Amino acid sequence: MNAILSISRRSFIIGVASTACGLSLGFNVPFIKPALAEGAETAPEINAWVVIRPDDTVVIRIARSEMGQGTLTGLAQLVAEELNCDWSKVTTEYPSPAQNLARDRVWSNFSTGGSRGIRESHEYVRIGGAVAREMLIAAAAAEWGVPASECAARMGMVTHAASDRATFYGQLAAAAARMTPPANVTLKDPKDWTIAGKPLPRLDTADKLNGSQVYGVDLKLPNMLNAAIRACPYFGGKVESFDAAAVAGMPGVRTVVQVDETAVAVVADTWWRAKTALDALPVVWDEGPNRQVTSASIAAMLEEGLGANDAFIGAKQGDAGAALSAAGRTVTATYAFPYQNHATMEPMNATALYTPERCEVWVPTQNGEASLAAAAEAAGLPVQQCEVHKIHLGGGFGRRGNFQDYVRQAVSIAKQVPGTPVKLMWSREEDMLHGAYHPTTQCRLTGALDADGNLTALHMRISGQSILAAVRPEAMQNGMDPVVFQGLVLAGTEGTLGYTVDNLLVDHAMRNPPIPPGFWRGVNLNQNALYVECFMDELAHAAGVDPLAFRRKLMAKHPKHLAVLEAVAERIGWDTPPAAGVHRGLAQIMGFGSYVAAAAEVSVTDGQLRIHRIVAATDPGHVVNPAQVERQVEGSFVYGLSACIYGECTVNGGRMEQENFDSYEVLRMAEMPEVETMILPSGGFWGGVGEPTIAVAAPAVLNAIFAATGKRIRTLPLKNHDLA
Amino acid sequence: MARLIINGTPRDIEVDPDTPLLWVIREQIGLTGTKYGCGVAACGACTVHIDGVATRSCVLPVSAVEPDQQITTIEGLSPDSSHPVQQAWLALDVPQCGYCQAGMIMAAAGLLMQNPNPADEDINAEITNICRCGTYNRVRAAIKLAAKSGEATQRG
């Protein structure tokens, strides 16, 4: 069970947690004073991360959002590991964004994106667990009148061996909460972990098997109304007029409202009736300034950038220009990557309740604090008078973090029916037409080969759209978007190029079409890996050298990049011939702090591609739950191969052409290859898992297609190409 | 007015006959385990059983359901998540975000009722639901595990 239990002016009780055995817990959020509520048993918190109830249930607070990636379980494992508690007694809950604000951001960052959920918070959540453990030990020691140093904590108990005494955590929690937290704790060496590092089952599975998991679209509040919305489908356009009277008498309709300048919404008793009336609502659009924009005009804009003089430099070594000019032999190719939609299975939605004094929002969000800020802004209220209740997401993939358009819309609608909660849900068509699209770029690569087939110079000119320029301009560096160069830079811990090229230039001619771009799972690593890894294959072929051997010569100074590449090559049997008709391709990249590689086996028969097998390797430094890492890697190939084979949002007349899964196809079961995941943590750093392997899916497959057909596919998706 | 038998219980519902069954189930019966994903029968998130046959409910007008037909939703597949498909899903920890999984489970249970021991090709042909998190390989393994349990054909 996982449902709204009660609602009143003073308090909301929302079940956001479930245990491994399927119980759920009430989480009482005070309506006015945003202090962390205590549970029905009034169990005190030991600290911000840990509440222990008298029945020994351990409630671990999770600041990051669960959207399928499994960090709810992984973060709980890290806290539980240091807490030395009984894992079977662990459950979780989300603290709210307003509580975080009121407590000086004691839970730090709520943002759940960039594969940062664990790698960015592992240390402070482990400290939280360790501090709570020490406070429990101190409480027991005080009760027994023995030195804390003689006590030990394990499996949810504090013991004192000398006097043969033991007490469960549940009996100590109240006293522990009053202890002074230790100033310093020593974290365990990961090699000593017994809960973290283990392939434990997810904590959130049970409710996902029987329909009881409540997603944002499932929320029910007393007297709630439902809203369906249509925003101007033309980018940059807005509402000119609409005829509310035409649908006012339709069944269930309560009101028809304009939402900001750009959208209209019908509010009705049910969503289906709201949508039915919306479909019948006459709307005249001010189509805005972009009616002439098409995919072709955008491509032309980017092509101009490929040869432009001015560009931002992301990586530079030696003098690539001079070396290329002097080279005896050069190879050039131009690649392109199209717009993609996140297409989360759960459409965008938010539920808002507005009064002139208070605004509350229930929303599946990757960033609860961004939702809170958006709610306050849209409500026109101080943030202290707003609250956001986080709900597990039916997919996020980057759409629900930085972009809170649906929250602003929900609040804007709720403001027009004050005192009544309104659930706004987008149709799939709305979702497809108003994405935060994976940006489009092109890349021209020119490499120089010496007489021995060595790469002596490389210029990668990227032309295209900057995400940061559109959505986080404050993060730009002197006009440059550093994120454009994911996986291609020479230094840092996020994603460095795995090749040493004596004369190297990677630069970016920023060309920003009027299409809203966003962070799409894998972000810019997706196209950068495609560009560099397919071109490495082209260079190897031109040099007449095996693609693995060609890369290896450039990777001597990049042992971690090389290790994952060699691992997949060995597993797929690179040095032995594949089965008849089967061909192989390789790719590697570093991104989101992790080193990843893939090897693919494909066949192409009468133009029909079949991907038989993927071997993937990842070195994320440390692994908190290998079973979840394996699931993330498998899943990343579904996302990456969907983009490779089908994914393309095309622009015509200033709007997107694809409106649903019938025109925006994605990978389904029949095309899903076997995925063998090799988890190769080398220690010493913490990398992300959810995204990096997406980026090697397409290049590994495209390189295998070249091996099979001799055809170089340089633009996605594959559905536009004839492989026969 | 429509009469529907949902999870064994007859329900009389005041509804426009054109309303898709999905929205009657979600908004009028109040069973929200069955999900909206596309509204054009392309993704399978809305899959329920009608007389034991996996059916996409988002494009099926409620008027097309006969009063004596048995509609089963994810909530009614078993009283306690004990259906062999649910048990296999639990054993292999299949769901990620979980949004598509009710439809996947209903599609899989429907397949196993028609074909207790499906080959890969049968699974490919019948399980065309969309999962964006990428659980496909575990869904396949869980269907095979449920088939192996041998009970799937005996349960609705």
Q: What is each CA distance from A223 to A149, A357, A420, in whole angstroms?
A: 57, 19, 7
Place of tokens 């060609």: A550
CB A450 within 8 A of CB A323: no
d(CA A708, CA A612): 13
Residues of chain B in contact with residue A211, where contact means CB-CB under 8 angstroms, are: 31-34, 73-75, 102
Which of the following CATH numbers is that of domain A33-190: 3.30.365.10, 3.10.20.30, 3.30.1740.10, 2.60.120.330? 3.30.365.10
Give the CATH architecture of domain A222-288+342-433: 2-Layer Sandwich (3.30)
Q: Which candidate, A46, A37, A61, places its Cα nearest to that of A170? A: A46
Indicate the DSSP class of residue A278.
H
Q: A204 vs B98: CB contact, 8 Å cut-off? A: yes
Other C-beta atoms closer than 10 Å to the C-beta of A568 total 27
CATH number for the domain whose boundaries are A295-340+437-720? 3.30.365.10
What are the angstrom distances between the C-alpha of A620 and each of A277, A470, A568, A626, B78?
A: 50, 30, 15, 11, 40
Residues pairing with A284 in the sheet: A241
Closest Cα in chain A to B85: A209
For residue A641, list its beta bridge partners.
none
Distance, CA of B83 to CA of A692 (rounded, Å) = 36
Backbone angles phi, psi at A457, to 5 degrees: -155, 150
Phi-psi region of A315 (alpha: psi -120 to 50; beta: other; left: phi over 0): beta
Min Cα distance A671 → chain B (Å) is 8
The pLDDT, as a whole number, for residue A42 is 65
**Are the CB atoms for A439 and A486 separated by under 8 Å?**
no
Give the Å distances, CA to CA, from A81 to A88, A134, A305, A622: 12, 13, 52, 15
Answer yes or no: is pLDDT of B53 > 80.
yes
Cα A638 from Cα B131, distance rounded (Å): 9
pLDDT (0 to 100) of residue A9: 27
Q: Cis before residue A717, ω within 30 degrees of 0?
A: yes
* Residues A414 and A352: beta-carbon distance below 8 Å: yes
Integer CA distances (angstroms), A520 to A369, A509, A674, in order:
20, 21, 24
Query: In whole angstroms, what is the distance from residue A251 CA to residue A366 CA?
Result: 35
User: Under a CB-based contact definition with an 8 Å cutoff, are residues A444 and A334 in contact?
Assistant: yes
Name beta bridge partners: B47.
B56
Residue B151 is predicted with a pLDDT of 55
Tell me the C-alpha distance between A453 and B23, whole Å. Answer: 64
Tokens of A500: 């040493």
Same topology, domains A33-190 and A222-288+342-433? Answer is yes
The pair of three-digit structure tokens given for residue A239, joined into one six-digit string: 């509402």
Q: Which of A214, A347, A669 lies at the smallest CB-CB distance from B123?
A: A669
Contact state of A662 with B31 under an 8 Å Cβ cutoff: no
Mean pLDDT, residues B45-73:
98
What CATH number matches the domain at B2-76, 2.40.110.10, 3.40.50.720, 3.10.20.30, 3.10.110.10? 3.10.20.30
How far apart are the CA of A82 and the nearest CA of chain B, in angstroms?
Answer: 25
Q: Is A34 on the interface with B (CB under 8 A)?
A: no
pTM for this structure? Answer: 0.94
The total of other beta-carbon atoms located within 10 Å of residue A348's CB is: 28
Which member of A395, A669, A672 has the closest CB to residue B133?
A395
Gap between the Cα atoms of A606 and A371, Å rounded: 50
Closest CB to A205 among B26, B39, B95: B95
pLDDT at position A14 is 31
Cβ contacts of A507 within 8 Å, gap of 6 or more: A311, A312, A313, A314, A459, A460, A461, A462
In Å, what is the CA distance from A608 to each residue of A604, A705, A718, A723?
Answer: 5, 11, 11, 7
Q: Which residue has the tokens 């597990």?
A: A392
Contact assignment for A669 to B74 by CB distance below 8 Å: no
Asked if A211 and B124 come within 8 Å (Cβ–Cβ), the reply is no
Which B residues in the span 73-132 are in contact with A, Cβ-Cβ below 8 Å?
A: 73-75, 77-78, 81, 86, 89-90, 93-102, 105, 123-125, 127-132
Spatial separation of the C-alpha atoms in residues B5 and A670, rounded to whole Å: 34
pLDDT of residue A414: 98
Q: List, in order, residues 6 or more apart from A296 with CB less than 8 Å away.
A: none
pLDDT at B154: 52
Distance (Å) from the alpha carbon of A16 to chain B's nearest alpha carbon? 14
Candidate from A345, A425, A675 with C-beta closest to B100: A345
ipTM over 0.95: yes
- Measured torsion, CA atoms of residues A40, A44, A47, A52, in degrees rounded to the nearest 10: -70
CA distance B50 to chain A (A): 18
Q: Is A634 on the interface with B (CB under 8 A)?
A: yes
Residues 292-331 of A with CB under 8 A from B: none
Q: What is the mean pLDDT of each run of 10 residues along chain A (724 residues)?
A: 30 30 29 38 86 97 97 98 98 96 96 95 98 98 98 98 97 97 96 98 98 98 98 98 98 98 98 98 98 98 98 98 97 98 98 98 98 98 97 98 96 98 98 98 98 97 98 96 98 98 98 98 98 98 98 98 98 98 98 98 98 98 98 97 98 98 97 97 97 98 98 98 96
Domain ranges of chain B: 2-76, 84-154
Are residues B124 and A670, on separate chains, in Cβ contact within 8 Å? yes
Query: Alpha-carbon distance A57 to A170, whole Å?
Result: 7
CA distances to A390, B97, B105 from A361, in Å: 8, 21, 31
- Per-residue pLDDT, averaged over B115-126, amounts to 97
The verdict on a CB contact (< 8 Å) between B137 and A675 is yes
Contact A24, A17 (CB under 8 A): yes
A427 contact residues in B (CB cutoff 8 A): 39
Query: Taken in order A127, A132, A136, A138, is the CA torsion positive or negative?
Result: positive
Q: Which CATH class is domain B84-154?
A: mainly alpha
Q: Does A663 touch chain B (CB under 8 A)?
A: no
Taking the C-alpha atoms of residue A362 and residue A407, their distance in angstroms, rounded to an integer, is 9
Helix axes A626-645, B136-149, angle to 10 degrees: 120
How far is the C-alpha of B146 from the C-alpha of A237, rounded, in Å? Answer: 52
A705 backbone dihedrals φ, ψ, rounded to 5°: -65, -40
Task: Determine how many CB atoms are found less than 10 A away from the CB of residue B97.
Answer: 30
Give the contacts of A700 (CB within 8 A, at least 6 positions apart): A533, A585, A586, A587, A598, A599, A600, A614
Q: Report the C-alpha gap between A688 and A620 in whole angstroms.
A: 6
Per-position DSSP letters for A538-560, written without gaps between them: HHHHHHT--HHHHHHHH-TT-HH
* HSE (side-chain half, CA atoms, 13 Å) at A79: 30
Cα B152 from Cα B150, distance rounded (Å): 6
* Residue among B32, B47, B99 with most chain A CBs within 10 A, to mutate: B99
**If contacts are CB pairs under 8 Å, which of residues 25-84 in chain B contact chain A?**
26-28, 30-40, 42-43, 45, 73-75, 77-78, 81
Write out chain B residues lying below 8 Å of A251, CB-based.
Answer: 16
Side by side, the strands of the sheet bearing A90-93 are A45-47, A50-52, A58-61, A90-93
Give the Å distances, CA to CA, from A469 to A48, A335, A361, A508, B78: 36, 22, 28, 13, 51
Six token digits for residue A181? 């937290």
Let me know: does A6 contact A13? Beta carbons within 8 Å: yes
Residue contact A660–B40, C-beta within 8 A:
yes
Residues in chain A: 724
Phi-psi region of A592 (alpha: psi -120 to 50; beta: other; left: phi over 0): left
Q: Which residue type does A77 have?
A: Q
Q: Are the Cβ atoms of B33 and A209 closer than 8 angstroms? A: no
Q: How far, in Å, CA of A549 to CA of A330, rounded?
A: 19
Q: Name residue A724's amino acid.
A: A
Q: Which segments of chain B are extended strands (E)?
A: 2-6, 9-13, 47-50, 53-56, 70-72
Instruction: State both tokens at A350.
Output: 């938010």
The domain segmentation of chain A, as residue ranges, is: 33-190, 222-288+342-433, 295-340+437-720
Q: Determine whether the interchain pair B128/A427 forms a contact, defined as Cβ–Cβ distance below 8 Å.
A: no
d(CA A152, CA A417): 57
The pLDDT value recorded for residue A13 is 29
Kindly state whether A218 is in contact with chain B, defined as any CB-CB distance less than 8 angstroms: yes
Q: Do B96 and A631 touch (CB under 8 A)?
A: yes
